[in-house]
A and B are shown apart, each in its own frame.
Chain A
Amino acid sequence: MNLLDSSLSLAYQGNHKMTGLQKISLAIVGLGTLGLLIAWASNGNISPLPTFIFSLAAMTIGSLLYTYSTYSGKIPGIKNNRVFQYGISSRGAAAWILGIVVTGFYVCLYWFPHLLEGLIRLHDPLSHGLRGKAADQWFVYGTFYTVAVLLMGIKFIFKYRHNRYQIIRTISVMFFQLVFAYLIPAFLALLNKPDEYFSYFWPLDSYALRPDWIAGKSSLGTFGYVVIAIGILMPFVVTPILTYFFGKRWYCSWVCGCGGLAETAGDPFRQLSDKSLTAWKIERWMIHSVLVAVVLLTALLWFNHISQNTILGGFTEGFKSAYGFGIAMAFSGVIGVGFYPIMGSRVWCRFGCPMAAILGLQQKYFSRFRITTNGGQCISCGNCSTYCEMGIDVRHYAQRGQDIVRASCVGCGVCSAVCPRGVLRLENGASDIGSRTDALRTIHISEDEVSILS
């Protein structure tokens, strides 16, 4: 009984147990993982093709079976039972272990790839088949990433199968990850062209638009010029137009790979985002600082390029490595994904991503997108805020009847889905966005009324 100090703790008491099928499916996933571990430990001294096929098949079958056994036969609807009671989704021991394992993987990936030799050799057959060359750590990473988005995407679709917005949106992120971030780069490699990711642009891709990037692409002839044109058009022309009409969601929760992973593999952790005002303050400082940093970096590189490294050469090189190490690797990768089970699925998107920062500014000041609230129906229950992966205190607005226009909102639509009273709706609304957000529509005494009576 912890009621006295208000820390009501409901240790899970109930009859819920995993079904036999759920246990079997997790065991199959475990076998697949074991295959990966053996391949990793063998350091390349194991026949890659059968091991790879075995692991991928086991993980796919196990995962699909788990999805099936968890959701089939259940009435479609919100499935958040026990989220705050299971350790994996409420920072329990399992969550910390998972966080440490994933963080460790990222550390190896960026700085000690030789430690992943066994896993890299395991992917050689697939890499040869897709790209006509041996695998490297980035191909392994891309494969893991894509498989995670696809399998967990299917799970998400099943979980939200009553919600057409979630289904379509999830198919979209799965498509962009598989085709734009995996198959097209592989296909380009097969054609002996450099990998191009047509779903990442400057400033999220901090290498894009640098002088050496332009020079490198220019040397590729027509293909290179197309890449440069896309690289310039996307951030400066296409993005503002799409964001004006649809908000930043067209990218962050429909196209982006980071978002794709967060929305699928990260979904079990979305409730862990910090909703405090302090976190919001830190968010605004951090994300805009990263944006300034990447703009500065790109500008410095051009400045140096033009001045032929005569003025700020050393400083710029240092700045470039610092950004690469600190932001592009440590922040977006290690912390961004490794800390999913501890800090939620959108740490990078919320605190770091410079693309999200730009889209957010556009969304806040120059977009038709908003979430409208439904008059006085809000009961302040907190489901919307709890399941906001971006840590927005949605309830704060909903209980005031105020429309939600927040730079960080990625438009995933989960707040609207989990609301038990039908209070929230994502809209590509109209032009009076500024005035609508001021109104507190649950106030039912207007000052005029008061003055008449008194």
Chain B
Amino acid sequence: MKIAIIGNGISGITAARWIRKLSDHEIIVISGESDYFYSRTALMYIYMGHMGLKETQPYEKGFWKKNRIGLKRAWVKDVDFKNKKLHLIPAAKLTDHDFLPAELPYDKLIIATGSDSNKFGWPGQDLEGVRGLYSLQDLQYMDNYSKDLNRAVIVGGGLIGIEMAEMFHSRNIPVTFLVREKSYWSNVLPDEESAMINRCIKNNHIDLRLGTELKEIVDNGSGKAVAVITNKGEKIDCGFVGLTAGVHPNIGFLKESDLETGRGIKVNEFLETNIPDVYAIGDCAEQQHPKTGRRGVEAIWYTGRMMGETVAYNICGKKVEYNPGIWFNSAKFFDIEYQVYGNVPAKIPEYMTSIYWEHPDGDKSIRINFDNRNNSILGFNLMGIRYRHEVCEKWLKEKTDMETVLKDLGQANFDPEFYDQYEKHLLAAYNKIAGKNIQLKKRRGLSQVIAFLKR
């Protein structure tokens, strides 16, 4: 059986690896973007000079041959679902070992084409010097425009926007950061954490404009961006405009086909599309029935990895539902690390109580949410402090009592040795609100963690 995978990102490559583990099927991975799988999340580090492209590739070149995973460098023009064929257009220099037919037949197809940057119909959004950040090509584009760049304007206050701000900042290029909301990423972060990141952005000398939207991008007369105009009527001169107002599934090449799509490619819990033998995974897939606490489209690294694993089982004849489990995520805002486990909404609902402690320096915080109807734990939000995923997950899964969690909170701490432990401050915050006197019983350490996890 010949399995074609469109896309060599984390989803497609994880699927390929797991199909190889579980079977002897022929596997071909097609990518127009790059010869080899690299970690998309590391794009910013290539630009900043922390790594080269090679360092971001998790597998050596010999890995693919050894595991009989065929790699083809091409863009997929369209898919002939009826005759089970892909139509390809070359994306790279052809070499002898990389013969590229214009048609590629398959028995089963996995679509893992990822995302594309959002554009909301802004005037001038297709000018030269205007670009999102998702692919290697985008990165090269940014780099080409960085030379003698007077200013970059970034539109959209999410994770990619702040990464792009950090990237330009690393090269001493002035940045204006337009954020539509009243505070950075305030549709995801609770107020205090969001305010912390506002401060962090400003401390890094980024010109942060909250509550400001892009109205249009100004053409220099020859098709190149030279300035933006905001909804407040201000004109900001710049040589580059970064569009980072989120991403959407990259499924344009499938729009004319019989494949059922909504925001993304519609899939059931087995990651099957409406067409037999065609699966979709990763950013481009849309769950028809997402699990509780989960969204239909989740453009996240680890969900791509989990879907890749799941689809491999399904293709190899062991049916298994996609279940990403309890929500978690992480990011880094300049120098502040962020981790979240469980349910931490931006606006705390009535049934929830949120205990929050922030370091006087204003760059570290712990937030724990619990259900005030039955005192069960609901979520953790950490800024500048590391917590252990498995410990938090177990507490959340078991709907552990808030006070039990607080007493044992130290065992969740994952910060390096000699770092201060702040759990007692969070307990004090809780005691103050609850009028109790809960004492911290456990501090950081692996032995008790293992005992707890094995319990």
Contacts and interface: CB of A to CB of B under 8 A. Distances in A.
Contact of A377 (B46, B143, B339, B419): B339
Contacts of B46: 8, 10, 84
A450 B46 CA distance: 39
Interface stretch (A37-45, A52-60, A345-353, A415-423): A415-423
A95 to B, nearest CB: 15
Interface in B139-178: 139-140, 143-144, 146-149, 170-173
Contacts of B321: 453
B414 A422 contact: yes
Contacts of B53: 6-8
B56 A381 contact: yes
Contacts of A81: 48-50, 170-171
Contact of A78 (B39, B335, B393): B335
Contact of B323 (A374, A422, A444): A444
Contacts of A413: 416-417
Interface string B48-73: 11111101111010100000000000
Interface string A154-189: 000000001111001000000000000000000000
Interface in B313-337: 313, 317-321, 323-325, 328, 330-332, 334-335, 337
Given A6-B35, A375-B393, A380 B10 contact: yes
B58 A83 contact: no
B92 A5 contact: yes
Given A5-B35, A382-B51, A375 B92 contact: no
A427 interface: yes
B120 interface: no
A8 B136 contact: yes
Contacts of A430: 446-447, 450
Contacts of A168: 418
A86 B149 CA distance: 20
Contacts of B415: 425
A10 B138 CA distance: 12
Contacts of A165: 416-419
A376 B302 contact: yes
Contacts of A425: 386, 414-416
Interface in A431-446: 432, 436, 441-445
Contacts of B416: 163-165, 413, 416-417, 425-426
A379 B319 contact: no
Nearest to B301: A379
B374 interface: no
Contact of B414 (A10, A164, A374): A374
A399 interface: yes
Interface residues of A, number: 74
A420 B43 CA distance: 13
A3 B136 contact: yes
**Size band of the interface chain B makes with A:** 35 or more
A13 B143 contact: yes
Which has the most chain A C-beta neighbours within 10 Å: B53, B306, B325? B53
Contact of B330 (A5, A421, A442): A421
A3 B318 contact: no
Given A83-B50, A395-B58, A15 B173 contact: yes
B49 A83 contact: yes
A377 B328 contact: yes
A85 interface: yes
Contacts of B51: 84, 381-383, 386
Contacts of B386: 374, 422, 425
Contact of A380 (B58, B330, B339): B58
A338 B36 CA distance: 34
A70 to B, nearest CB: 14
A77 interface: yes
Contacts of A5: 35, 92-93
B203 A75 contact: yes
Interface string A2-34: 011111101111111100000000000000000
B137 interface: yes
Given A82-B49, A383-B51, A441 B390 contact: yes
A429 B453 CA distance: 14
A449 B318 CA distance: 10
A399 B313 CA distance: 20
B325 to A, nearest CB: 7
A372 interface: yes
Given A8-B52, A382-B39, 8 more contacts: A7-B53, A80-B49, A374-B414, A379-B330, A383-B45, A425-B416, A430-B447, A441-B390
| Interchain residue pairs A-B with the least CB separation, the first 3 | A375-B389, A14-B171, A77-B335
16 contacts: A14-B170, A14-B173, A78-B50, A82-B49, A85-B49, A165-B416, A374-B390, A381-B41, A382-B39, A383-B45, A421-B332, A429-B446, A429-B447, A442-B302, A444-B306, A450-B313
